[in-house]
Structure 1
Amino acid sequence: MCETGSAPEEARASLPRPAPGAAVDPIALEPVDEVEIVTLVDNVYDALLTGDARTRRAGSGTGAVTAPQFEEGRTFAGMVAEHGFSALVTVRRDGRSTTLLFDTGLSPDAMVTNAGRLGLGLGDVQAVVLSHGHFDHVGGLAGLAGKRGVRSLPMVLHPLVWTRRRLAVPGKEPYELPTLSRRALEGEGFEVVERREPSLLLDGSVLITGEVDRTTEFEHGMPPPHQAWTGSGWEHDPLVADDQALVVHVRGRGLVVLTGCGHAGAVNIVRHARRLTGVDRLHALVGGLHLGGPAFEPVIPPTVAALTELAPDLVVPGHCTGWRAQHALAAALPDAWVQSSSGTSYRLTA
């Protein structure tokens, strides 16, 4: 599935595989005192949304920009919304705070623009984590490289993130998706860390899942038009095997799971996180769940049923979740569901 081809054992490693029982060697994910997730980029920006004790919104008075057409010489631009996702994750433990950047949005400037309008400097970012290689999650790397001016920033990703992919919709001319360049990223100073397996970051307080076990009967991945280059031709790429999530254990509350697109399936991802850590309780699920469009709408009912059974305290579906799934989740989990919006922060404490 990657640009240079792959050995048979690499192909087998990307296939769904059973994951019965608890993990043989559970990961000791250290509980944290608090995690704050700031949605830097999402598909939606609503300046009229209200917050609460754990949710802070970027309101209509955010992001002052020069505008000579106004008496004051300025106006408020608010947040940029685009078909992409990016989140700033700050973990607090034992009096220390550390910040990671999870995905970077679609365009080169939306993420850094929104961070600036929120008054958030990106100079404190300790590492970048990429959920997968699709361009609507990595496009902001260009803006980040130009903004920081700091070399050797670690970047954690799956080795299949470099896969060439295209969409070949019947009756339309196929078009190739932009492919991330390792050489370019390393040239800009990013220290690329490739991992298929789970990774522990920040002294064991953040888990990056690596490849997610596909164990449900209903989350089948991408439809046939989504294809990958094998080295000799294009083939259906249903798995997007580089898809991974970020997991934090908030002490006394449970797991906080952050997804980019959730190509592995929201329920598969949560199951995988619970199995790896041995922590059964799902406290929060935030990010894209990829339930939009005709190919994925049949997956909505079993996904909603499974998440309802897990009874999370917070569900913030964003990006590619789709409006039908949003309505279904809001109806099934009215006390947990929260509307996502660019510029919103969620603070979850022990």
Structure 2
Amino acid sequence: MTPRLTLTVLVDNNCLIDRYFTAEPGLSFFLETAKKKILFDTGYSDAFLMNAEKMKINLLDLDYVVLSHGHLDHTGGLVPLIRFLTEAKIEGTEHRVPELVAHPRCFYPKEKLPLTNNGSILSEEEVRRQFPVNLSKKPVWITDDLVFLGEIPRKFTFEKVEPGNRRIHLSGGRPEPDLLLDDSALAFRSNDGLVIITGCSHAGICNITTYAREVCGDEKIVDIVGGLHLLKPDPARVTLTGEYLANLSLKALHACHCTSLAAKIALSGYCPVQEVGAGLHLEW
């Protein structure tokens, strides 16, 4: 019997109506499966901590923190999380220091002018001081049925990332165009098919889904939850993405965060787009 996965939206750009949680332009999910507790992304601020407290979710006993990529709206909450765990240690409160899983490029400085760094404000060196760290380009199985996909192969030309004014500063300070190779996702094997959990899908949701099927050995996709990075979508890309998603016969598409209203409306013609906001609870 495949373990159940539950997902609670701690942070999104939106909040569900009549749920008085904090929203911000960021993303953070809380997952539970196979007796493991996982924080997927930390949003921009301490909003995920405040919302978790209101939801009566204990973040002092996390097993893993998984980062989808290094941008500040997904890693900014690491500093409040470190303070939260530090204060627990000072006060003698029972807690666990989670393992952090991400791509090896996650903590390199990322430049997008006029911002000299729109990536993590914490260096890899500092993160390693605070957490046990697993930085991997290869898939990392967190449980028997939940996997961090690592570096996503880019196969669909219509999902090609143009770096524009984005640059990444590698070790030694060498800058190069930032193709956002650190962008990754989670995939969960449910009894009904795969659940894909994304941060921003800079790698392209079609690329991510194709790779998840390969890694998990399962063609069926039941749900996709997360950002699709379709903010000012090119109509041709939306059409090709919609056609790809339509062929999946999804039960739901929970598109959020960096997915514009125009993109959601367009994609709703291809698959069942569902509302997302802080406070949403999903189970598979």
For the criterion TM > 0.5, the same-fold answer is yes
- Aligned counterpart in structure 2 of residue 322 of structure 1, from 250, 260, 278: 260
- Aligned counterpart in structure 2 of residue 244 of structure 1, from 166, 184, 187: 184
Superposed, 1:106-117 pairs within 5 Å as 106-107=44-45, 109-117=46-54
Q: Distance in 1 between matches of 2:16 and 2:96?
A: 35
- Aligned counterpart in structure 1 of residue 82 of structure 2, from 122, 137, 145: 145
> Is 1:225 paired with 2:165?
yes
Are the equivalent residues in 1 in contact too, given 2:63–2:96 (CA < 8 A)? no
Deviation, structure 1 residue 298: 4.3
Deviation, structure 1 residue 340: 0.9
Aligned-residue RMSD, C-alpha: 1.8
Deviation, structure 1 residue 151: 5.6
- Aligned counterpart in structure 2 of residue 267 of structure 1, from 206, 213, 221: 206
Are the equivalent residues in 2 in contact too, given 1:32–1:248 (CA < 8 A)? no
Q: Which amino acid is 1:266 matched to?
A: I
Aligned to 1:20: none
Residue deviations 1:275-301 (CA, integer Å, cap 9, x gap): 11210000110001101126x554211
Q: Distance in 1 between matches of 2:259 and 2:225?
A: 11
- Aligned counterpart in structure 1 of residue 219 of structure 2, from 277, 280, 283: 280
- Aligned counterpart in structure 1 of residue 64 of structure 2, from 123, 127, 130: 127
Question: Cα gap change, 1:233/1:153 in structure 2, threshold over 3 Å: closer, same or farther?
Answer: closer
Deviation, structure 1 residue 233: 5.4
Are the equivalent residues in 1 in contact too, given 2:187–2:194 (CA < 8 A)? yes
Deviation, structure 1 residue 192: 1.0
Question: Cα gap change, 1:232/1:98 in structure 2, threshold over 3 Å: closer, same or farther?
Answer: closer
Q: Distance in 1 between matches of 2:232 and 2:276?
A: 19
Aligned to 1:160: 105
Q: Give unpaired runs (5+ residues) of structure 1.
A: 1-30, 48-59, 63-77
> Is 1:211 paired with 2:151?
yes
Residue deviations 1:93-112 (CA, integer Å, cap 9, x gap): xxxx32111100011x1000
SS in 1 for 2:63: strand
Superposed, 1:1-350 pairs within 5 Å as 32-47=2-17, 60=18, 62=19, 78-92=20-34, 97-107=35-45, 109-148=46-85, 149=88, 150=95, 152-168=97-113, 173=114, 175-179=116-120, 180-187=122-129, 189-202=130-143, 204-230=144-170, 231=172, 234-237=175-178, 239-251=179-191, 253-293=192-232, 298-333=236-271, 336-348=272-284
SS in 2 for 1:235: strand
Question: Cα gap change, 1:281/1:116 in structure 2, threshold over 3 Å: closer, same or farther?
Answer: same
Q: Distance in 1 between matches of 2:119 and 2:154?
A: 26
Q: Distance in 1 between matches of 2:215 and 2:208?
A: 11
Question: Cα gap change, 1:217/1:260 in structure 2, threshold over 3 Å: closer, same or farther?
Answer: same
Are the equivalent residues in 1 in contact too, given 2:16–2:280 (CA < 8 A)? no
Question: Cα gap change, 1:297/1:100 in structure 2, threshold over 3 Å: closer, same or farther?
Answer: farther
SS in 2 for 1:326: helix
Question: Cα gap change, 1:126/1:232 in structure 2, threshold over 3 Å: closer, same or farther?
Answer: closer
- Paired residues, number: 274
Higher gyration radius (CA): 1
Are the equivalent residues in 2 in contact too, given 1:159–1:195 (CA < 8 A)? yes
Are the equivalent residues in 1 in contact too, given 2:159–2:204 (CA < 8 A)? yes
Q: Distance in 2 between matches of 1:152 and 1:124?
A: 8
Q: Which amino acid is 2:223 matched to?
A: A
Deviation, structure 1 residue 136: 0.5
Q: Distance in 2 between matches of 1:302 and 1:205?
A: 29
Q: Distance in 1 between matches of 2:174 and 2:123?
A: 20
Question: Cα gap change, 1:221/1:118 in structure 2, threshold over 3 Å: closer, same or farther?
Answer: same
Q: Distance in 2 between matches of 1:178 and 1:220?
A: 21
Q: Distance in 2 between matches of 1:248 and 1:176?
A: 32
Are the equivalent residues in 2 in contact too, given 1:291–1:299 (CA < 8 A)? no
Higher relative contact order (CA 8 A, sep 6+): 1
Q: Which amino acid is 2:258 matched to?
A: C
% of aligned pairs identical?
Answer: 32
Deviation, structure 1 residue 222: 4.0
Are the equivalent residues in 1 in contact too, given 2:70–2:119 (CA < 8 A)? no
Instruction: Could you list the structure 1 runs, at least 4 aligned residues long, displaced by more than 4 angstroms after superposition.
Output: 230-233
Aligned to 1:17: none
Residue deviations 1:230-266 (CA, integer Å, cap 9, x gap): 55654322x2111111111012x00001000111100
SS in 1 for 2:127: helix
